[in-house]
Structure 1
Amino acid sequence: MSLTINSYLTFQIAGELFGINVAKVLEIREYMEPKAIPQSLEFVKGVIEYQQEVIPVIDTGLKFGMAPVEIQAATCMIILQLVSDVLGKTYRVVVLVDAVSDVIECEESEMKTISDDYKPAYINATLTREDKFIYVLNADMVFNQKEIIAMTDILKGVKNK
C-alpha cells in the first residue's frame, strides 16, 4: 500500500498553528493595507488587486472566532485559490495570518481526524510535529455558501464603481 505524501504551509493565528495544503496557495506576500469596503462581512477587512482581479482580504482570526490578526512585522497575506463544490466555481481570497511558519510534509497516517461532533467543517485533522500541535485545514470548507455569495456580491459592487 502506498502512502500519499502531502505538503502543508503552516502559519500562526492568535498563538495557534494551522496547516493548509500547498496546492491551494498561489502566493505569500508581506502585509499591505487593503482597500476598505463599506458594509462588508465582519471578517472581510477589504480588498486588494491580484493579477487584474479584485479579491477579498480575510482576517482569519475573526473568521475562526479568535482574536483579530494584529498587524505586525511578521504579518503575512496568503493568496489562496479555493473551490466551492456547491456553487461549482473556483474563487480567490487573501488570508491574513500572524506569521508564516514552515512547509511540512506528512503522510496521511500521521494525521489524527477529529470527530465531526467537535470541530468546524473546515478542520480536517490535527498533526503533531516537533511538539507543535497543528490544525490541518480543508481550505475549500472555510467559507459556507452564504459567505461565498456575499463576498462575490461585495466584489461585484466594487468592480461596478
Structure 2
Amino acid sequence: MAEEIKVIVFGLAHEEYGIEVDKVRTIERMMPITRVPKTLAFIKGVINLRGVVLPVIDLRGRFGLPESDATDSSRIIIVAVNDLEVGFIVDSANDVIDINTDSIELPPEVVGGIKAKYLRGVAKIGGSRLLIMLNLSEVLNKNEIIQLEEQEV
C-alpha cells in the first residue's frame, strides 16, 4: 500500500533534493558559524541555535560538489537522525510537498556526482520533475566521517 510522505524540497548545485519533514527540526537563515580546528573541510563548524550548539555540514562539500558562497537564499536545515542533530548548508529551501512512496525509485549508482549510498531514491513528480531523496543515516554516517577525518590528518 503506497503512502504519502511530506518532504522538504531544497536546492543544491542546480538539482532538487528532498528530506522527509519528520527528520527536519527547523530551517534557518545563514548565521555566523564558528570554525572548529582539525575537522574535515565540509564540516563548517558549529552554530549556537537557541542555546544548543550544533555542528554544521556543507552538503556541497559532503557530496564532493564545488563549493559556493552563501547567498540570500542559502539556508541551514537542522535535521535529527539517530540521536544526532546537525545543520546542513543548502543553496535554498524551496517548499514542502507530498510524495507518494510508490513514485520513489532506487537511485542509479551516481546522480549528479553523488554516490548512490547517500540517496534513498529518486522521486518522479508531475511527469518531468525529479527529486533526489537523501538517505540521512548514510550522509551522517559517523564511521565514514571518522575515517575521512583520519585520512586528512
Bin of the TM-score, shorter chain as denominator length: 0.7 to 0.9
Superposed CA offset, 1:5-58 (max 9, x none):
111101011111110101110000111120111111111111012343311111
Q: Which ranges of structure 1 fall in alignment gaps of 5 or more residues?
A: 84-89, 151-161
Query: Following the alignment from structure 2 to structure 1, what is the Cα–Cα distance between the partners of residues 137 and 18?
Result: 13
Alpha-carbon distance, 1:69 to partner: 4.0
Equivalent residue, structure 1, for 2:151? none
Q: Which ranges of structure 2 fall in alignment gaps of 5 or more residues?
A: 148-153
Alpha-carbon distance, 1:80 to partner: 0.6
Superposed CA offset, 1:97-154 (max 9, x none):
0001111111111111125x5543120110122422211112122122325658xxxx
- Tell me, what secondary structure is at the counterpart of 1:7? strand
Query: Following the alignment from structure 1 to structure 2, what is the Cα–Cα distance between the partners of residues 148 and 126?
Result: 24
- Give the TM-score normalised by the residue count of structure 2: 0.84
Q: Does 2:36 match 1:15?
A: no
Decide whether the 8 Å contact of 2:42 with 2:61 is kept in 1.
yes
- Give the TM-score normalised by the residue count of structure 1: 0.80
Equivalent residue, structure 2, for 1:48? 47
Query: Following the alignment from structure 1 to structure 2, what is the Cα–Cα distance between the partners of residues 22 and 69?
Result: 26
Equivalent residue, structure 2, for 1:86? none
Choose which of 96, 100, 104 in structure 2 pairs with 1:103: 96
Equivalent residue, structure 2, for 1:72? 71
Aligned length: 142
Equivalent residue, structure 2, for 1:26? 25
Structure 1 residues 60, 6: closer, same or farther in 2, change over 3 A?
A: same
Query: Following the alignment from structure 2 to structure 1, what is the Cα–Cα distance between the partners of residues 68 and 102?
Result: 32
Decide whether the 8 Å contact of 1:60 with 1:69 is kept in 2.
no
Q: 1:136 is aligned with what amino acid? A: M
Equivalent residue, structure 2, for 1:122? 118
Decide whether the 8 Å contact of 1:12 with 1:97 is kept in 2.
yes
